[in-house]
Amino acid sequence: MNPLKGSLRPVAGFAGAAVLLFAVAPLALTDFRLGLLAKYLCTAMVAVGICLAWGRGGLLTLGQGVFFGLGGYAMAMHLKIADAGPGNLPDFMQLYGTATELPWWWRPFANPAFALAATVLLPMAVAALLGLFVFRRRVKGAYFAILSQALAAAFAIWLIGQQATTGGTNGLTDIQGFFGYDLDDPVNQRTVYFIIAAALLALIALARQLIHSRYGELLVAVRDSEERVRFLGYDPANVKLVAYVVAAGMAGLAGALFVPAVGIISPAMIGIVPSIEFVIGAAVGGRASLVGAVLGAIGVVWAKTALSEEFPAAWTYFQGLLFIVALAFLPGGLASLAGMLRRRRARQRKATVVAVGEAA
Amino acid sequence: MTVILGQTFTGISIGAVLLLIALGLSLTFGQMNVINMAHGEFIMAGAYTTYVLQKSISDAGMSLLVALPVAFLVSGALGALLEWLLIRRLYLRPLDTLLVTWGVSLMLQQLARDIFGAPNVQTRAPDWLTGNVTLIGGADPLTVANSRLFILGLAVAAVVALASTLRLTPLGRRIRAVVQNRDLAEVSGISTARVDRTAFFVGSGLAGIAGVALTLVGPIGPTMGTNVIIDAFLVIVVGGIGQLKGTVIVAFVLGVLQSVLEYSTTVSVAKVLVLVAIVAFLQWRPQGLYTLRTRSLV
Amino acid sequence: MSGLEIRRLRVSFDGFTAVDGVDLDVRPGDLRFLIGPNGAGKTTLVDAVTGLVKAEGSVRFDGEELLGRSVHRIARSGIGRTFQTATVFEELTVLQNLDIAAGAGRSMWTMLRRRKDVPESVVRALETIGLTDLADSPAGTLAHGQKQWLEIGMLLVQDVRLLLLDEPVAGMSHDEREATGALLRRISEERTVVVIEHDMDFMRSFARSVSVLHAGRLLSEGTVAEVQADPKVQEVYLGHAAATEDATVVQEA
């Protein structure tokens, strides 16, 4: 391949995506639609992490909702404290709680710097802790998937159980301000959208760098033959841990930015079902391809919003079918379809040539 | 003292339910290494079967007894169909199987919603299951609901039936042969495809039985499968692959642990603590309580 | 003391003793063949040396005790192995396979950047194993013999001092065997090489020394000629019918 062409293509891709996200979408879409797009882009950020951990590292993380939720709650806690104003309790605590002051574990989140750092570092820390225990002991494959799913279930159940301090089933709702800016103001909503779009592009760039680095090659090697990598003198546990922790940080950032875009975070967005839904987008688009995973994630949540309001039953059937078709019959996702078509055409051409040759 | 005994017995009855829902998985996941997320919906199918039968057979006791074999057949047939349609194409891709069957589970849930409606429904328990048995009399009595005892008995019967099928019948021998060496079994004249389907039928049928049992302790609804499936898989993961005794022991241990933790904390905290305990346990035995030793490590 | 020194090595699985008190010394520069009937404990012995199975006794390499260390630590102390079925990273190219093998000691910073140029050791290994022309092909597309060579090449760039090869020529054509034998000769000039092999012709052509394992014990040791002349070895290889009897004879002897 021409090396110049090889290095120019991603640059052109990024430039194109930037033009679409920063110029075309804000001009073409209404404020309402742009708000929806912001929400979709948050899902795409989670998909970038899933592409890295699952597509490249073979770690089927069915608990990304936990990290999305940790990021989201960290951000929402700060915003709720800020909304309430100094000395006041957040509204839901006044409603359900008997507490007269903030619980101790809420207090650090009053500090904006702490809260912002926590949105990314807290999910990474939880992932590191779990990953350390699980990967060290070579718990892998389906076992890991089930454990990560159990984590999502347990986290959602725990949040629901602590109504007085987490808002329970309702979650943290009705968030008004974002670091002093009123979120009801369309101009500020637009700014939130731009932040999300920029964050998504940054995460894609980061994931691309990781995938094309030596580490990225090693990650694929671990996915395909963990034992062999161990005999080369690497500790595969560490290799997996990095991918898992980075994916968790990406999900955390996505959750944090989801909060100002939508104004709410609740257990319904982080349990088993939403955790699997994060995976479906990446699976449909192509788990191992960054572009595929991102577009797949955006496409699937878009389809969900478009269909589920008018035809909720039909949407569920469609979603189930999408999962089955994508995974059973097209494991590489839509991203692999292009390559397959190209190969088939080449084969047909060859077959035609042979047939013509035989006829002659 | 009675409190401890009471919690232990509550734990045992939670364990019996866990055992029933995990038993079918110990065959499909434990023996055949297929992660079937739709297993929960096969449980749901068993529960709705009980509900439908009770509409036509008015005697609650009779309908419950009829429901056991019928639910086994209904869920078993669903399982065999799923195996034939999808799972047999995916035997070498366990993680994809997990996600594909999750898609199936979504569709089955929606199907239940379309047929029976989204709200939960309830069955009547027969008279002979509504009372209590007093285990310890006196001022501080320990009583156990008849329905809980029935479930415990059902769980024990199901384990015995499954274990003897695996150990004593030609089908059981074939299943074990296929599990231990698929290629060798194939060249020895065993139709592995038929064994797979039969094993899947039995495993899914057991889910149907579990569904019948669940109607005695809770409501029937489209999401009832999702609520129990993770716990069931955890039982197998901790119990170890390929051995029934691991499933049995772990189901009861987790049941008692859950019950004791719920008593000393809250339901939601107990869930989290049980998960922490499981991760800690896997540090000690990453392959689960019991494992089949094999020489191949690569 | 340098080279591989094994003392009283014992490995048992659930009551079955696969390796039963083996002593083995291999000096640097040796090309040692490890032979014996199926189930003699050859692969288990290699598993024990590389940390895959728990073992009792002592395994030292260049004076360092290996037993009790984790697999990747043993690999880092200069010991590499191959498996009966070639395991290369099928989705990576030949070059990427070798580059990964060369890089266990790389810093985090190097790992997180792209590969700018090909390391010198990788270039040399490509030449040694004769795969320079295929450097950019995915390893999954290689022929069986080429995969085995790639595995050996990966051990070379790892700069291991002890190579443990499990049936490297199984399934190879005659020409491939000759090439592999010549390759092993060259490698063994600077490193210690231990080869598990069933192919007696291959052993006769290339072995510098031979150890015979039988039923978990060391039966005989020496040059090819010495081992072939040993009556105990002849008994073991005479026929399967007498195999169990032989085992008892050997144990009594």
Domain ranges for chain C: 4-252
Pair B199, B174: CB distance under 8 Å: no
Q: Is residue A298 assigned to a domain?
A: no
Question: For A46-64, what is the mean pLDDT?
Answer: 94
**What's the Cα-to-Cα distance from B158 to each of B20, B48, B151, B284, rounded to whole Å?**
8, 20, 10, 30
Cβ contact, residue pair B99, A323, below 8 Å = yes
Residue C8 has pLDDT above 50, yes or no: yes
Q: Read off the pLDDT of residues A292-308 as tens digits, 9 standing for 90 and up.
A: 999 999 999 998 888 88
Q: Is C147 on the interface with A (CB under 8 A)?
A: no
Name the closest residue on chain A to residue B91, using Cα atoms: A328
Residue to mutate among B106, B261, B282, B283, with most A CBs inside 10 A, is: B106
For residue A276, is it within any domain?
A: no
Counted domains in chain A: 1
3-state helix, strand, coil in chain B (%, to 5): 75, 5, 25
pLDDT digits (tens, 9 = 90+) for B16-42: 989 999 999 988 887 778 889 999 999
pLDDT at B1: 66
SS3 C65: strand
User: What totals of helices (H) and strands (E) does chain B contain, helices first?
Assistant: 11, 2
What's the CATH code, domain C4-252? Answer: 3.40.50.300
> Is A182 part of a structural domain of the chain?
yes
Q: Does A273 touch chain B (CB under 8 A)?
A: yes
Compute the radius of gyration of chain B from its Cα atoms: 19
C20: left (phi over 0), alpha (psi -120 to 50) or beta: beta
**Which pLDDT band holds residue C227 (cuts at 50, 70, 90)?**
confident
**How far A226 CA lies from chain C's nearest CA (Å)?**
10
**A357 pLDDT higher than 70:** no
What pLDDT, on a 0 to 100 scale, did the predictor assign at position A86? 84
In whole numbers, what is the pLDDT of chain C averaged over residues?
A: 85
Q: Is A1 on the interface with C (CB under 8 A)?
A: no
Please say if the pLDDT value at position A144 is more than 60: yes
A150: nearest CB among B29, B234, B267? B234
The residues in A 304-323 lying below 8 A from B, measured between CB atoms, are 313, 316-317, 319-323
* Range 13-52 of C in CB contact (< 8 A) with A: 50
Q: Is B278 in contact with A150 (Cβ distance < 8 A)?
A: yes
Is residue C219 less than 8 Å (CB to CB) from chain A? no
pLDDT tens for each residue of A222-270: 998 888 888 888 899 999 999 999 999 999 999 999 999 999 999 999 9
- Which pLDDT score, from 0 to 100, does residue A358 have? 52
B278 vs A: CB within 8 A: yes
Å from B297 to nearest chain C CA? 8
Quote the mean pLDDT of chain A.
Answer: 88
Domain membership flag for residue A151: yes
Q: What is the DSSP string of B56-79?
A: HS--HHHHHHHHHHHHHHHHHHHH
Which of B32, B83, B95, B116 is most worth mutating to test chain A (most A CB atoms within 10 A of its CB)?
Answer: B95
Q: Tens digit of pLDDT for each residue in B87-122?
A: 888 888 888 888 899 999 999 999 999 999 989 998
Which residues form the domain of A230?
Answer: 20-270
**pLDDT band at residue C238 under the 50/70/90 scheme:** low
Q: What is the pLDDT of residue A356?
A: 54
Burial of residue C12, with CB atoms counted within 10 A of its CB: 0-12 exposed, 13-18 middle, 19 or more buried = middle
pLDDT tops 80 at residue B180: no
- Scanning every residue of chain A, which has its alpha carbon at the shortest distance from the alpha carbon of C72? A233
Domain of residue B208 covers: 2-226
B residues 231-270 closer than 8 Å to A (CB)? 233-234, 237, 266-269
CB contact under 8 A, A158 and B100: no
Please name the residues between 9 and 38 in chain B that touch chain A, using a CB distance below 8 Å.
29, 33, 35
**Could you tell me what percent of chain C has a pLDDT over 70?**
93
Q: Spell out where C27-161 has E strands.
A: 31-35, 56-61, 64-65, 79-81
- Least-confidence region, from A243-252, B10-19, C10-19, C59-68: C10-19
CB contact under 8 A, B103 and A322: yes
Asked if B233's CB is within 8 angstroms of A320's CB, the reply is no
Verify whether the Cβ–Cβ distance A231 to C50 is below 8 Å: yes
From B291's Cα to the closest Cα of chain C, the distance in A is 12
pLDDT, tens digit (0-9, with 9 covering 90-100), for A268-280: 999 888 998 899 8
Q: Chains near B, with 3+ CB pairs < 8 A?
A: A, C
Could you report the per-residue pLDDT of C18-38, keeping only the tens digit for each? 888 899 999 888 899 998 888
Percent helix / strand / coil, chain C, rounded to 5: 40, 25, 35
Residues B249-294 have pLDDT tens digits of: 999 999 999 888 888 888 888 888 988 888 888 888 887 887 755 4
Residue A354 confidence (pLDDT) above 70: no
Q: Which of residues 103-132 of B touch A (CB under 8 A)?
A: 103-107, 109-110, 113-114
What's the mean pLDDT in B182-193? Answer: 81
Task: Using an 8 Å CB-CB cutoff, list chain B residues near C52.
Answer: 297
Residue A218 forms contact with C (CB below 8 Å): yes
pLDDT digits (tens, 9 = 90+) for A191-213: 999 999 999 999 999 999 999 99
Q: How far is B237 from chain A (nearest CA, A)?
A: 7
Disruptive mutation site among A59, A130, A146 for chain B (greatest number of B CBs within 10 Å): A146
Which residues of C fall within a CB distance of 8 Å from A225?
A: 87-89
Is the CB of A323 less than 8 angstroms away from the CB of B114? no
Nearest Cβ partner of A234 from C90, C104, C113?
C104
Q: Which residues of A touch B282 (CB under 8 A)?
A: 133-134, 137, 139, 143, 147
Mark yes or no for CB contact B113/A322 under 8 Å. Answer: no
**What's residue B15's pLDDT?**
92
In chain C, the residue whose alpha carbon lies closest to the alpha carbon of B297 is C52
C24 vs C197: CA distance, rounded Å? 17
Residue B139 forms contact with A (CB below 8 Å): no
Q: Is residue B24 part of a domain?
A: yes
Rounded Cα distance between B1 and B16, Å, is: 22
Return the pLDDT at B292. Answer: 59
Chain C, 52 to 71: residues with Cβ < 8 Å from chain B are 52-53
Whether the pLDDT of residue C195 is over 60: the answer is: yes
Q: Which residues pair with C31 in a beta bridge?
A: C193
Over residues C185-200, mean pLDDT: 88
Residue B111: per-residue pLDDT: 94
Tokens 């010495």 found at: C226
Q: Is residue A330 part of a domain?
A: no
Say if CB B60 and CB B127 are below 8 A apart.
yes
Judged by a CB distance cut-off of 8 A, whether residue A340 touches chain B is no
User: Using one digit for the tens of pLDDT, what is the confidence trace for C93-151?
Assistant: 999 999 998 887 787 778 888 877 888 889 989 988 889 999 999 998 998 888 889 99
What residues form DSSP beta bridges with C211?
C34, C221
Partner residue facing A133 (CB), from B33, B109, B283:
B283
Instruction: Give me the residue from B99, B107, B286 closest to A283, CB to CB.
Output: B99
In this predicted structure, what is the pLDDT of residue C6? 92
Chains in contact with chain C (at least 3 beta-carbon pairs closer than 8 A): A, B
Q: With contacts defined as CB-CB under 8 Å, which chain B residues touch C47?
A: 297
Mean of the per-residue pLDDT values for chain B? Answer: 87
Residues in chain A: 360
Taking only residues 113 to 142 of chain A, the set having a beta carbon closer than 8 angstroms to any beta carbon of chain B reads 130, 133-134, 136-139, 141-142
| pLDDT tens-place string over residues A11-54 | 888 889 999 999 899 989 898 999 999 999 999 999 999 999 99
Residue indicated by tokens 């005479």: C238
Count of A–C CB contacts within 8 Å? 74
Question: Is A285 part of any domain?
Answer: no
pLDDT at residue C245 tops 60: no
With contacts defined as CB-CB under 8 Å, which chain B residues touch C14?
293
pLDDT score for A59:
93
Number of domains in chain B: 1
3 state SS for B171-227: HHHHHHHHHHCHHHHHHCCCCHHHHHHHHHHHHHHHHHHHHHHHCCCCCECCCHHHH
Distance set, CA B116 to CA A78, B49, B52, B120, C201 (Å): 43, 11, 10, 9, 73
- Mean pLDDT comparison of A38-42, A285-289, C17-21, C206-210, highest-scoring range: A38-42
Answer whether C113 sits within 8 Å of A213, measured CB to CB: yes
Query: Is C85 in the B-facing interface, judged by CB distances under 8 Å?
Result: yes
**pLDDT over 80 (residue A317):** yes
- Measure the CA–CA gap between A188 and A175, rounded to whole angstroms: 13
A 157-216 near C (Cβ less than 8 A): 209-210, 212-215
pLDDT at A355: 55
- CA–CA separation, A211 vs A229, rounded Å? 17
